[in-house]
Amino acid sequence: MTTINVEILKKRMEDMSNYDMDELERLKEREKRSRGIKPNWPQSVELGKDEKPFTAVDIELPDDDFRMIALQAHERDITFNKMIELILKDVINQAEYKFEHHSKPQLLNEDK
């Protein structure tokens, strides 16, 4: 058998808005912290931890090229700078491949 106060509290809990529930959760968290209980989530975030160092480069682009690259970046949901970085990496990789694998046919002789 429950007391009248508990039934009234249950009724109030059902009628509470989300703000009131959020406030109760904040009070519970505050009480846990005052008792020395630490939350599971990290207290700080390290920004740029996974990013590689970069060098700023100024480039001049015709308006049409800028629009095309900006549209491609928008379609991929990335920034314009990230799209330029991807393009530059791709071109560098292609140049390295061409340097390592000549396009000229080579004659290989097997002499014994």
Residue 82 lies in a domain: yes
Mean pLDDT, rounded, for 4-21 = 67
Give φ, ψ of 56 to 5 degrees.
-75, 135
The one-letter code for the residue type at 100 is E
Q: Is residue 96 part of a domain?
A: yes
107 versus 1: the higher-pLDDT residue is: 107
Give the pair of three-digit tokens for residue 67: 């629009």
pLDDT at 101: 65
Longest dimension (CA), the chain: 104
Where do we find the tokens 């975030």? 45
Is-above-0.85 flag for pTM?
A: no
Mean pLDDT of 86-101: 81
Give backbone dihedrals phi and psi of 104, rounded to 5 degrees, phi first.
-75, 135
> Pick the residue with more confidence: 90 or 40?
90
- CB count within 10 Å of CB 16 equals 13
pLDDT in tens, 29-86: 888 878 877 666 666 667 667 677 777 888 899 999 999 999 999 999 999 999 999 9
The per-residue b/e assignment along 78-110, b for 16 or more CB within 10 angstroms, e otherwise, is eeeeebeeeeeeeeeeeeeeeeeeeeeeeeeee
pLDDT of residue 84: 92
The single-letter code of the amino acid at 70 is A
Domain contains 93:
yes
Q: What domain count does the chain have?
A: 2
Higher pLDDT, 18 or 65: 65
Residue 13 has a pLDDT of 66
Domain extent at residue 79 = 63-100
Does 40 reside within a domain? Answer: no
Nearest to 87 by CA among 63, 47, 57: 57
